[in-house]
């Protein structure tokens, strides 16, 4: 009897813990529960105070073949985006990502196009985290990237209305993205310098070998 009660409680607990955020259209298992909870908190406050709906749609693979002709890929992507727009309630912003296709975009309803700078959000808060090559799992990076982007969209709209959201993560998202950029640039420079050193050493040893052979 006790074991049955335990199983029931375990099942209920897991159902509650894995409750999907109403602002996540699809996440392919790439956003952890803590990030989902924070997204829900931000989404609720944005809806209540700003009157907007912010959504996330992230897939590891959206089914589009990267080797396909560019014109065909664009057409397929537009079809996917059109379906996403139908799921959103205006005014809306949809952060949509496809990891394998290295695709990121923010779909905006007409009344938000002049308010949200999608390039700034993507380049400063989303892509640096998602594209980083490091020991962190795709799961961890996707969670951070989605939360950062979602929060910044809300903050962008709030700023135009002179409102400070209690759920805001402030500059943390920007700082995180900047840190990743600096880290990646440092790694690239370090790699180039290491390559140069190796080449110079090889040439030096080759020259010494030729001189000793004489």
Q: Can you spell out the DSSP letters for 10-72? A: HHHHHHHHTPPPTTEEE-TT-S-HHHHHHHHHHHHHIIIII--EEEEEEES--S--TTS-HHH
Backbone φ and ψ of 185, nearest 5° = -65, -40
Strand, helix or coil for residue 41: helix
pLDDT for 194: 54
Place of tokens 């955020």: 21
Separation CA 94–CA 58 (nearest Å): 10
What letter would DSSP give residue 110? G
102 phi and psi angles, rounded to 5 deg? 50, 45
Distance, CA of 178 to chain centre: 14
Which of 25, 30, 27 lies closest to 55, judged by CA?
25
Residues 8-213, CATH architecture = Roll (3.10)
Q: What is the pLDDT of residues 156-177, one digit of tens each?
A: 999 999 999 999 987 544 444 4
Indicate whether this model's pTM tops 0.75: no
Q: 105 by DSSP, 3-state: which?
A: strand
Residue pair 98/62 in contact by the 8 Å Cβ criterion: yes
Q: Give the span between the Cα atoms of 125 and 131, in whole angstroms.
A: 11
Are 176 and 65 in contact, with CB atoms under 8 Å apart? no
Residue tagged 């030096």 (tokens)? 204
pLDDT value at residue 21:
87
Instruction: Give the model's pLDDT for residue 66.
Output: 87
pLDDT attached to residue 170? 75
Instruction: Tell me the backbone φ, ψ of residue 5, rounded to 5 degrees.
Output: -60, -40
In the predicted model, residues of the chain with pLDDT beneath 70 are: 1-19, 132-136, 171-214
User: What per-residue confidence (pLDDT) applies to 58?
Assistant: 95
């Amino acid at each position: 009897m006790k074991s049955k009660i335990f199983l029931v409680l375990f099942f209920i607990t897991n159902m509650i813990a894995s409750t999907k955020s109403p602002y996540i259209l699809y996440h392919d298992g790439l956003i952890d529960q803590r990030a989902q909870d924070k997204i829900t908190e931000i989404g609720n406050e944005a809806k209540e105070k700003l009157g907007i709906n912010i959504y996330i749609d992230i897939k590891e693979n959206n089914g589009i073949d990267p080797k396909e002709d560019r014109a065909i890929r664009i057409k397929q992507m537009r079809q996917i985006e059109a379906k996403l727009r139908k799921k959103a309630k205006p005014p809306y912003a949809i952060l949509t990502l496809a990891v394998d296709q290295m695709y990121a975009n923010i779909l905006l309803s007409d009344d938000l196009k002049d308010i949200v700078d999608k390039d700034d959000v993507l380049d400063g808060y989303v892509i640096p985290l998602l594209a980083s090559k490091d020991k962190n799992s795709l799961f961890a990076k996707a969670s951070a990237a989605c939360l950062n982007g979602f929060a910044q969209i809300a903050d962008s709209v709030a700023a135009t209305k002179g409102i400070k959201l209690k759920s805001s993560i402030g500059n943390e998202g920007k700082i995180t993205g900047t840190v990743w950029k600096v880290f990646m640039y440092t790694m690239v420079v370090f790699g180039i310098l290491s390559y140069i050193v190796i080449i110079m050493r090889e040439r030096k040893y080759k020259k010494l070998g030729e001189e000793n052979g004489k």
